[in-house]
Structure 1
């Protein structure tokens, strides 16, 4: 079959002169009509640069240094801008990663679709507006007539992403390039968006280049997988072959790290044979009828009557989609925000209304690790100061003793002490999260609240951090309250799981039972949405 798209020797650099960095190094790739090809790799691998280079949408600092991209007989790298504009939108659609930055905030979403139709298909204003409503219906947007008149900020992230898919498919293109189209979405929303995209591709015979960091998604959706590392294709083949018999070490690491492809609880790599667990583990945290509301009295509560117990030395996970109330619940347990009603017991004492010095001393025993380490770590402080700050705040040790403690903590989280002089911007995402964990462990807390601690990380880095948490728990007897929207991650680390939706706990049980015998339909839907289960 004749290739729809043929890429030969594509090279892209960032910067110029001595500072030039080669991001894409001689890529060769072919896409057949109607084929779905997943381009997979970690952050910095060059996969998004490839997708943008195909249609010459690279940032100003990027330079195409060689190669060709031939689409339907036209070399897009050498075509005049006027020709490119006719092809983009009409023959090639593009779905960007972040809908909040890709939709015009001053235009109604229906008009944004209609504009593409008027420009490339010659429809009248009325005809384009009517077709825009039909497209919103096709991509699964409820009440499309009403949604067409709304602005992007009035739509959820999942609905905004569907609008972008509608724009990409508006003119029934031959090829759609989707750059991490669902990475910012909850698992069930992600599944629905990908289902819709796959259905459109099948209905219109559209070829798709799906860029993703998750081999589970690639395995679910793609006919063929292309694995990219450091700007080069290291492996390519049918999706089933790449996932079942990966040849390259990098591919094997990605497959091993994908939560949906590995249904197992991570085991500690430290020797805990000398630690005999108690026969009847005692509760560390007991939450009873916990409630929290925001806004006016007519609004539904963010948390509505939560009840659960966290056993000492275990991992209790709260799972749910955005807005389910899981983070609000964790913040109340950590006493970052007050509860409206209910009771929180910690180590047998009621901490619900604790204030003053009592609350300050509780901070030594409960620490929090947040989702985004770049946002939670002061960018002006070095690693040394960041990790030592809790020790200074509570007057623990001398300056020399604190420096030694920092080195010990960095060693515990598998970081080199050579990093003590660096600032957060000089660290990778995984390194920043390890610094945040070291900082949280500085005061030897009994409970660590982990709020989406790996959702911003690549799957292989994600697995490294999860393994680290499991090892630290075994070594120091830590208790975790773990928050996540991803049941694939939850399965790797949890002893007990509670599923939340709209502020209420729908179901809770031991992790093995949740995954084997989930009772609530919503829990079963979350499990079905784990990428890689197909």
Structure 2
């Protein structure tokens, strides 16, 4: 029997807290990976997926250290060998594809120079040979204009293209093992298909082994031979992909699987005191908006939205879906007054709103709040949770002192966070906790309408499902209405009455919840819905050969 390529034996990793206390975050993990095998590490945020994957390069994050066990790659222990020898293996024996390709590239250097850099560092081949090999990889990874795309700079390609270029950078040294750290999390569903297909093809043809880190079981199902389920730094379950998907044993694995089956949408019950004349809470009509100087035709140099209109009834929810660049977030910014429209109208309860948020009344601002995608950048890292929630209480309601303190506690109760978190800073919270604080800040205003801009896209599936359930509970309790922006069909399907499909800044279709997804008529809507991965290992391979070509026409900003 041949020896496995990778053998992790009783791995322990410790982290040091700010107070100097040592905490064990990986607790005796052991598993193997065979030559040519792709193994997925899945679990919620904080489960240890990325920490374990990084040890396969002999690396730990700042503040962490490997405190016990072995990490064998080709029989060599990465834990005990000198750092100088580990550096020789990185890029040649083992390579890494990051979650954010944008952060992995230097914006001031051409792509080709960065892709072939490893070949030069390790003196694997001449520059001419490296460039030729890179172009071969660009072809294999189905990149457009493979012979010349390397001459561009990172900002001149889409997100999906940049993610494949990051893979080319990892593959240039013919590694025996490739680590994929959530490489498709930030991509649209259509772009994700292209990237997954390209990764799978190159790995198969090269006979390479891989570790695929993800919280998305449907994505993992398309690329992994075997799945290892992690929680709290320990393995909960391990098995073949089909075995885990079809007959999971551990309750936590079943919880992960259940998170992919969203709670069915239930239409809101009409209010008992509802007036005979129903007026839309929000009405958007004929919106044109964009960026840059106004041209002779009265439109911005970069026109993002063209003649967009929509309505939202009180107590109901509207979903906006489409790929990056379709105009979803721009429409939210226009509605909120953060980006003034050059044409069109936004009405709240029949009252025209000024295009600029700065010219709207305090009451108009209070009634409409926006929750942004990334709580990390939306929350002031220098302010405690109590300070963050206290500011809108003081601004909108004049609450200070004991009244404010009591209300902060109530807001934390609403979003199901312990009141003891009030003194913590954002950096001391998990991703899900930060997003709940982000949402509690919006609730502090006591709004009628909340614009939710991709608020679950950065969260793992279990936490995202909990956030959606929370939104539903708060809607029932407070009579809220939501505009919910996402590229995840299952998310909007579980919470929205109607879904508006956007492409290139225009509405292409408006669908009632009970029409999703089979009732879609527009080709783009059909493509978008058909691109959502299924919990079926054969789904990706079963797609028609020209499916990616259809998606490629929409791959503008990845």
Q: Which residue of 1 aligns with 2:551?
A: none
Alignment match, 1:210: 212
Structure 1's 52 and 512: CA in aligned 2 closer, same or farther, altered over 3 A? same
What residue number does 1:15 align with? 16
**1:522 counterpart = 2:521:** no
Q: Distance in 2 between matches of 1:337 and 1:139?
A: 37
Q: 2:74 aligns with which of 55, 66, 72?
A: 72
The answer as to whether partners of 1:265 and 1:494 remain within 8 angstroms in 2 is no
Q: How far 1:317 sits from its partner (Å)?
A: 1.0
Q: CA deviation at 1:516?
A: 1.7
1:288 aligned partner: 285
Sort the Cα spacing of 1:18 and 1:119 in 2 relative to 1 into closer, same or farther, 3 A: closer
Given that 1:111 and 1:132 are in contact with CA atoms closer than 8 Å, whether structure 2 keeps it comes out as no
Maintained 8 Å contact 1:266/1:467: no
**TM-fit CA distance, 1:417:** 2.6
- 2:367 is aligned to 365
One of 57, 60, 85 as aligned partner of 2:59: 57
Q: Aligned-pair distance for 1:55?
A: 1.6
CA drift at 1:353: 4.9
Could you tell me which of 33, 47, 54 is aligned with 2:49? Answer: 47
Contact 1:272-1:475 at 8 Å conserved across structures: no
Asked if structure 2 preserves the Cα contact closer than 8 Å seen for 1:5 and 1:70, the reply is: yes
Distance change in 2, residues 1:439/1:106 (3 Å): closer
Runs of 5+ consecutive residues of structure 2 not aligned to the other structure: 540-558
Please report how far the alpha carbon of residue 279 of structure 1 lies from its aligned counterpart in structure 2 after TM superposition.
9.4
Q: CA deviation at 1:482?
A: 0.9
**Following TM superposition, by how much is the alpha carbon of 1:278 offset from its aligned partner in structure 2, in angstroms?**
8.4
Kindly tell me: are residues 363 and 374 of structure 1, through their superposed partners in 2, closer, same or farther at Cα, counting changes over 3 Å? same
Question: 2:110 maps to what in 1?
Answer: 108
Alignment of 1:341-352 (within 5 A): 341-352=343-354
User: Judging changes above 3 Å, is the alpha-carbon distance between structure 1 residues 83 and 520 closer, same or farther for their aligned structure 2 residues?
Assistant: same
Q: Tell me, in whole angstroms, the C-alpha distance in 2 between the residues paired with 1:362 and 1:154.
A: 40
The 8 Å contact of residues 366 and 447 in structure 1, kept in 2 or not, is answered as yes
Alignment map for 1:213-252 (pairs within 5 Å): 213-252=215-254
Please give the alpha-carbon distance, in whole angstroms, between the structure 2 residues aligned to 1:350 and 1:152. Answer: 42
Q: Deviations over 1:359-415 (max 9, x none)?
A: 332112111111122322233433333323223213445644333333322222222
Say if 1:291 and 1:341, in contact at 8 Å, map to a contact too: yes
Structure 2 residue aligned with 1:265? 264
- Once the two structures are TM-superposed, the CA of residue 19 in structure 1 deviates from its matched residue by 2.2
Aligned pair in 2 of structure 1 residues 45, 398: CA closer, same or farther (>3 Å)?
closer
Worse overlay, 48-57 or 70-79:
70-79
Of 5, 26, 29 in structure 1, the residue corresponding to residue 28 of structure 2 is: 26
Corresponding residue for 2:329?
327
Q: Aligned equivalents of 1:425 and 1:318: distance in 2?
A: 30
Aligned-pair distance for 1:4? 2.1
| CA distance in 2: counterparts of 1:161 and 1:242, whole angstroms | 28
- Give 1:60 shift: 4.7
Report whether the alignment pairs 1:376 with 2:378. yes
Query: How big is the shift at 1:155?
Result: 2.6
Give runs of aligned pairs for residues 472-491 of structure 1, distance below 5 A: 472-491=474-493
Q: 1:355 & 1:367 partners in 2: Cα distance?
A: 11
**Residue aligned with 2:204, SS:** helix
Deviations 1:59-92 (A, max 9, x none): 3533222222223333333344454444332332
Q: 1:309 and 1:407 mapped to 2: Cα distance? A: 34
Shift of 1:129: 1.6
- On the 8 A contact 2:357/2:365 being kept in 1, the answer is no
- SS in structure 1 opposite 2:361? helix
**Take 2:163 and 2:379, find their aligned partners in 1: how far apart are those partners?**
30
**Structure 2 counterpart of 1:531:** 533
Determine if contact 1:292/1:303 at 8 Å carries over to the other structure.
yes
Cα separation, 2, equivalents of 1:485 and 1:118: 39
What CA distance in whole angstroms lies between the structure 1 residues aligned with 2:8 and 2:400? 61
Check conservation: 1:508, 1:514, Cα contact below 8 A: no
Instruction: Give the TM-score taking structure 1 as reference length.
Output: 0.91
Structure 1 residue 7: deviation in Å? 1.6
1:288-321 deviation per Cα after TM superposition (whole angstroms, max 9, x unaligned): 1101021243744111110111121111011122
Pair 1:124 & 2:126 matched: yes
- CA offsets 1:309-362 (integer angstroms, 9 cap, x no match): 112111101112222211111121122332100122221222245887753321
CA displacement at 1:471 relative to structure 2: 0.9
- Matched residue SS, 1:302: strand
- Which of 411, 417, 420 is matched with 1:418 structurally? 420
Instruction: Evaluate the alpha carbon distance shift between residue 328 and residue 15 of structure 1 in structure 2; reply closer, same or farther with a 3 A threshold.
Output: same
Q: Distance in 2 between matches of 1:210 and 1:438?
A: 34
Query: For 1:275-314, what aligned pairs fall within 5 Å after superposition?
Result: 282-296=279-293, 297=295, 299-314=301-316
Work out whether residues 56 and 77 of structure 1, in 8 Å CA contact, stay in contact via their aligned partners in 2.
yes
Counterpart-to-counterpart distance in 1, 2:360 and 2:108: 49
Match of 2:183 in 1: 181
In the superposition, the TM-score normalised over structure 2's length comes to 0.87
Q: Which moved more, 1:237-246 or 1:201-210?
A: 237-246
- Check whether the contact 1:339–1:352 (CA below 8 A) recurs between aligned residues: no
Give the length in aligned residue pairs.
529
Q: Which residue of 2 aligns with 1:190?
A: 192
Deviates further, 376-385 or 185-194 = 376-385
Q: Structure 2 CA distance, aligned partners of 1:144 and 1:336?
A: 39
Q: CA deviation at 1:274?
A: 8.7
Distance (whole Å) between structure 1 residues aligned to residue 275 and residue 37 of structure 2:
56
